[in-house]
Structure 1
């Protein structure tokens, strides 16, 4: 996402109201920050994500997720993938309170843009 688009999103969301498109862009931007943050989402430890530095190769490359999973599935995966796949090495970000529900929503907003 370009700096101009991010800047416009932030300007559009600074008042009491925020347009749907600007809100989605802002949430996706926040989700990207969380996903790339080595102390928070830390998704790059295991996944290749476009725009990320020093990605890992343990998990699948994260691309085209919106066509593979609906929002509820992505929320479930990020919240606690062990429910779907007990053998996963993916941390249960919600169950272990690594990320808040709001942060998980933002990460999913970002994942849906990939």
Structure 2
């Protein structure tokens, strides 16, 4: 495949994945909106998730750059159980990670973890 055709195919694939993964917030049930709002609050709270300390995400101000940008999360983690495992104990997948084990060390409750996951899936 020639380079321009390959780049066009890649761009079309990316656009298709992006279109499928984006769900407008206005089409969500009120309970889901509240859960997502709570997840964002937990993720941004310096005493709880503090995700902005290490990650660029959404509309966060002064993000860190130690971790990867939190974008296209449904594409990166199509299985919510894998994303939950990453948040609960990231050291299981990478012993050298600097990410804290939010579940293993009880930094976040189960409800807070669930809300953060719901929020991350909107990114």
Please state which band the TM-score falls in when normalised by the shorter chain: 0.7 to 0.9
- Tell me whether 1:42 sits opposite 2:80 in the alignment: no
TM-score computed with the length of structure 2 as normaliser: 0.75
Q: Deviation of residue 25 (structure 1)? A: 1.5
1:90 match: 99
Aligned length: 96
Note the residue ranges of structure 2 that are not aligned, 5 or more in a row.
1-25
Larger Rg: 2
1:52 match: 60
Q: Aligned-pair RMSD on alpha carbons?
A: 1.2
Note the residue ranges of structure 1 that are not aligned, 5 or more in a row.
6-19
**Residues 56-83 of structure 1: CA distance to partner in whole angstroms, max 9, x if unpaired?**
0000000000111021111111111111
Give the distance between the partners of 2:43 and 2:80, measured in 1 at CA: 16
Q: Deviation of residue 21 (structure 1)? A: 2.0
1:61 match: 69
TM-score computed with the length of structure 1 as normaliser: 0.80
Give the distance between the partners of 2:96 and 2:29, measured in 1 at CA: 37
